[in-house]
């Protein structure tokens, strides 16, 4: 007689399946601790050293804050963006490349569950990366937190935005070369000119609109406001932009999963 | 009685334009041990991919125990276990993890999973290898892991796509015994294989596919009972030359 597996569902959600996706990716992350956590933490330490001791002393205060205090939130945001994008894009691409994505396709998991499972690990990795950098900053007296809820909002929302973008790119990519293209041509340039190292008023007047048109500016401005209470644009604008991006990218990712783009033959 | 699997006018055209399955219809009653034969490229694996959600059917209908495998895919997938032809496995994960994660995807609780994994690991002689990374295992052991993974959810319909390709005689016999046993216990099995003696030994019903269509179907006794046995029937059905013709 068939006993049948008793699939545990509450509110129609396969919670165990979701949790398994998190466990699985966490186990993959545990296999690459240097790439996942040590590298961004060392990079942040170097930023603290360079901007704290070497360059920082020669630059006047910005908005009443030491230069290192001003820069560190941007450095933290860069690492969150990188962690989120790389986690999402490589996980989905690798699973497609080796074909073990089929394990999820043949299982009773909905597309929304697949996306949420992937994003949960993205947020976990980005949060651990961000909190690690924050603790280093606090340890070196380089930063503090003005608003914990807003700090967590920016980490979770921005990592989800770039997690969704990473999923879309991971589905689209047909080679490791393509997987890296958005990092090289989009994320790095936009993040570097998004106000990590300078205020908008430091830019030539004719170029200031470029910063306002750059979404990274709002992410960095948001987390800087949450950390040291310094901002150059209304927080509400950044929050609205982030929620809008979440909606657009979320619907796009869901649609791609639903039609099996890059997943099913 | 609702059939275990019902496929009606399945057609699958890949994005490249290749027609992998032309017009395939098939009904497998519950409890059947069904052989699905055909030459390479006949559309067997594509049909299996469409049943299990790895590929999207271009048209046609697939029902698993009366449940639409496309519209109600979550409910339908719960009833199926797939042992694919290729090793679609994370090479860095160990054997136990691979089976455990699959159980998790199927919503099985930790205790239920552990019991089932212990049973399957023992049944397929994987105890000494359960903590080894998949990439470190031999071909035969890899096949055992993939089989255990396919059976973790104790599926009602088991689909085995060339499960004994490249495995040694010992595993082949272990697998035959196990499949016979679970089939007697009521599970429906769909088996593809290029080893006709395997099909003759295990299956009660056979369908031969060629160029994306079922070209011959019947009980094993009907098909294997014709002159020249199953092999000749297969060669004639697929348009190849049987020995006695080729030898003239």
Q: What's the residue count for chain A?
A: 265
DSSP assignment string, B181-206: HHHHTT-EEEEE-S-HHHHHHH-SEE
pLDDT for the residue numbered A56: 75
CB-based contact, B104 to chain A, within 8 Å: yes
Instruction: Write down the domain spans for chain B.
Output: 1-79+157-248, 84-154
Give the pairing type, strands B67-68 and B59-64. Answer: antiparallel
**CATH architecture classification, B1-79+157-248:** 3-Layer(aba) Sandwich (3.40)
pLDDT for the residue numbered A191: 87
Q: Are the CB atoms for A113 and A17 separated by under 8 Å? A: yes
CB-based contact, A35 to chain B, within 8 Å: no
What Cα–Cα distance (Å) separates residue B123 from each residue in B105, B167, B180?
Answer: 22, 16, 14
Q: Are the CB atoms for A128 and A37 separated by under 8 Å? A: yes
Q: Three-class SS string for A163-191?
A: HHHHHHHHHHCCCHHHHHHHHHHHHHHHH
Q: Which residue of A has its CA nearest to B149?
A: A103
CB-based contact, A213 to chain B, within 8 Å: no
Choose from A12, A107, A261 for mutation: most chain B CBs within 10 A.
A107
pLDDT for the residue numbered A1: 44
Separation between Cα atoms, residue A107 and residue B1, nearest integer Å = 26
Q: Three-class SS string for A215-238?
A: HHHHHHHHHHHHHHCCCCCCHHHH
Those residues whose C-beta lies under 8 Å from the C-beta of residue B193, and which sit 6 or more positions away, are: B35, B37, B162, B163, B164, B165, B199
Q: Which residues pair with B158 in a beta bridge?
A: B81, B189
Residues of B in Cβ contact (< 8 Å) with A2:
154, 156, 185-187
**Could you say which residues of chain A have pLDDT below 50?**
1-2
Subunit contact A264:B109, Cβ cutoff 8 A: no
Q: Which residue of A has its CA nearest to B99?
A: A103
**Could you say which residues of chain B have pLDDT below 70?**
241-248
Q: Which residue of B has its CA nearest to A19?
A: B104
Separation between Cα atoms, residue B189 and residue B193, nearest integer Å = 13
pLDDT for the residue numbered A9: 59
Q: Are the CB atoms for B15 and B58 separated by under 8 Å? A: no
CB-based contact, A5 to chain B, within 8 Å: yes
Instruction: Write down the domain spans for chain A.
Output: 33-259
Q: Which residue of B has its CA nearest to A101?
A: B88
CB-based contact, A147 to chain B, within 8 Å: no
- The alpha carbon of residue A26 is apart from the nearest alpha carbon of chain B, in Å, by 12
State the Cα angle at B97 between B94 and B98, rounded to 5°.
Answer: 85
Strand, helix or coil at A246? helix
CB-based contact, B70 to chain A, within 8 Å: no
pLDDT for the residue numbered A77: 95
Q: What is the ipTM of this complex?
A: 0.90
DSSP assignment string, B201-226: HH-SEEEEEETTEEEEEEEHHHHHTS
Subunit contact A5:B187, Cβ cutoff 8 A: no
DSSP assignment string, B39-65: -TTSSHHHHHHHHHTSS--SEEEEEET
């Amino acid at each position: 007689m068939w006993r049948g597996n008793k699939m545990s569902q509450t509110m129609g959600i396969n919670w165990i399946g979701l949790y398994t996706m998190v466990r699985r990716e966490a186990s993959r992350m545990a296999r690459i601790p240097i790439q996942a956590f040590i590298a961004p933490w060392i990079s942040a330490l170097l930023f603290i050293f360079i901007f704290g001791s070497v360059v920082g002393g020669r630059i006047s205060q910005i908005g009443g804050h030491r230069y290192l205090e001003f820069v560190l939130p941007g450095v933290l945001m860069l690492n969150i963006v990188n962690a989120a994008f790389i986690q999402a894009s490589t996980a989905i691409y690798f699973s497609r490349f080796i074909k073990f994505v089929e394990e999820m396709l043949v299982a009773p998991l909905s597309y929304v569950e697949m996306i949420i499972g992937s994003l949960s690990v993205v947020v976990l990795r980005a949060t651990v990366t961000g909190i690690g950098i924050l603790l280093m900053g606090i340890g070196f007296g380089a930063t503090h937190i003005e608003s914990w809820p807003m700090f967590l909002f920016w980490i979770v929302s921005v990592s989800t935005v770039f997690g969704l973008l990473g999923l879309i790119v991971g589905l689209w990519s047909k080679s490791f070369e393509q997987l890296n293209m958005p990092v090289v041509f989009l994320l790095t340039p936009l993040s570097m000119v998004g106000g990590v190292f300078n205020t908008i008023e430091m830019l030539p007047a004719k170029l200031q609109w470029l910063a306002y048109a750059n979404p990274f500016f709002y992410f960095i401005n948001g987390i800087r406001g949450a950390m040291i209470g310094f901002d150059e644009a209304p927080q509400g604008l950044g929050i609205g932009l982030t929620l809008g991006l979440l909606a657009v990218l979320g619907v796009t990712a869901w649609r791609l999963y639903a039609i099996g783009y890059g997943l099913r033959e | 009685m609702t059939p275990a699997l019902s496929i009606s006018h399945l057609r699958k055209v890949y994005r490249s334009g290749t027609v992998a399955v032309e017009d395939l219809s098939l009904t497998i009653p519950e409890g059947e041990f069904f052989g699905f034969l055909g030459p390479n490229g006949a559309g067997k694996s594509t049909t299996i991919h469409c049943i299990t959600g790895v590929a999207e059917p271009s048209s046609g209908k697939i029902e698993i125990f009366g449940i639409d495998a496309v519209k109600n895919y979550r409910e339908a997938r719960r009833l199926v276990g797939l042992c694919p032809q290729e090793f679609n496995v994370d090479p860095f994960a160990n054997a136990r993890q691979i089976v455990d994660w699959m159980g998790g995807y199927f919503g099985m609780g930790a205790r239920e999973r552990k019991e089932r994994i212990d049973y399957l690991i023992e049944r397929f002689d994987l105890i000494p290898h359960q903590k080894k990374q998949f990439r470190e295992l031999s071909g035969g052991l890899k096949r055992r892991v993939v089989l255990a993974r396919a059976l973790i959810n104790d599926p009602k319909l088991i689909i085995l796509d060339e499960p004994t390709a490249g495995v040694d005689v010992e595993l082949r016999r272990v697998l035959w015994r196990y499949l016979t046993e679970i089939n007697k216990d009521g599970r429906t099995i769909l088996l593809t294989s290029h080893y006709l003696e395997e099909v003759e030994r295990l299956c009660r019903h056979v369908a031969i596919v060629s160029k994306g269509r079922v070209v011959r179907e019947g009980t094993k006794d009907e098909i294997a009972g014709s002159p020249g046995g199953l092999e000749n029937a297969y060669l004639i059905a697929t348009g190849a030359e049987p020995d006695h013709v080729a030898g003239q």
